[in-house]
Amino acid sequence: MGNTVIYEKKDKVGIIKLNRPEALNAINDPLIADLLSALRLAREDETRVIILKGEGRAFSAGADVKEGSQPRSIEDYFNHAEHMQEVSRLIVNLGKPVIAAVQGYALGGGCELALGCDIRIAAEGAKFGFPETTVGATITNLGTQNLPRLIGMGRAKELAYTGRRVDAKEAEEWGLVNRVVPASELDKVAMEMAEEIASRDPLGIKLTRLSLDTGAEVGFETVLRLETLAASTSFASGQRQTGMKDALKKK
């Protein structure tokens, strides 16, 4: 892994930092490669929750305009797009929750990264948007699925068609982010939430995440079967009984 992404661990919480602050953490090929490496490490290690954040003044301003303006073959761009899609695929299949801690700008590919996370905490003044259509591009990396799922199709089309940016307050009102906090408290709040989730039974969290994500895509009969399977798996692990006995002792 190179230096465009930093991966750190604090107990059971992993912290992935996009590390191109001089470019507002714009996404280029080296950053994608480093982010893939960090996510693969996070998938296999002992951490239970991951925080994704950007160093400096922005979460990520999206695609690197300098790189994007350079000539490249269609095959080269195809490979670039597939690598970015692998980032989305890894986040979805990570097996543990991912919290996006967003400050400054989360635009285009940066916004798509944030939307791919389970939870988004935004600093006051953060800006979200999809400027793709203003430069002749399109939304990618599950953005066309995640955006309408979070804020509804009408608002999703408004943002996608116009390229308009929304601030953190409006993003919270629309359901784009879970919580807005002062910029000085962003890291603290994200860590507190990560530690709270990490304190829960990891199998229960993994099964619940799988059920929620899958349930949003399939019919109710499949959801019912999946929920039964998840509940039975947690029961078979013994953690369900242990957890309930512990709860009784606390009463």
Residue count of the chain, please give it. Answer: 251
Alpha-carbon gap, residue 178 to 159, rounded angstroms: 18
The two three-digit tokens of residue 164, written as one number: 């308009």
Q: How far is CA 84 from the centre of its chain?
A: 13
The two three-digit tokens of residue 104, written as one number: 């400054």
Q: Is 224 exposed, middle or buried (0-12, 13-18, 19+ CB in 10 A)?
A: exposed
Place of tokens 């995640």: 146
The two three-digit tokens of residue 199, written as one number: 């304190």
- What's at 216, amino acid-wise? A
Strands 49-54 and 98-102: parallel
The two three-digit tokens of residue 28, written as one number: 């280029």
Give me the phi and psi of 176, to 5 degrees please: -75, -30
**59, 140 in Cβ contact below 8 A?**
no
DSSP state of 142: T
- What's at 184, amino acid-wise? S
Q: Which residues are catalytic?
A: 112, 132
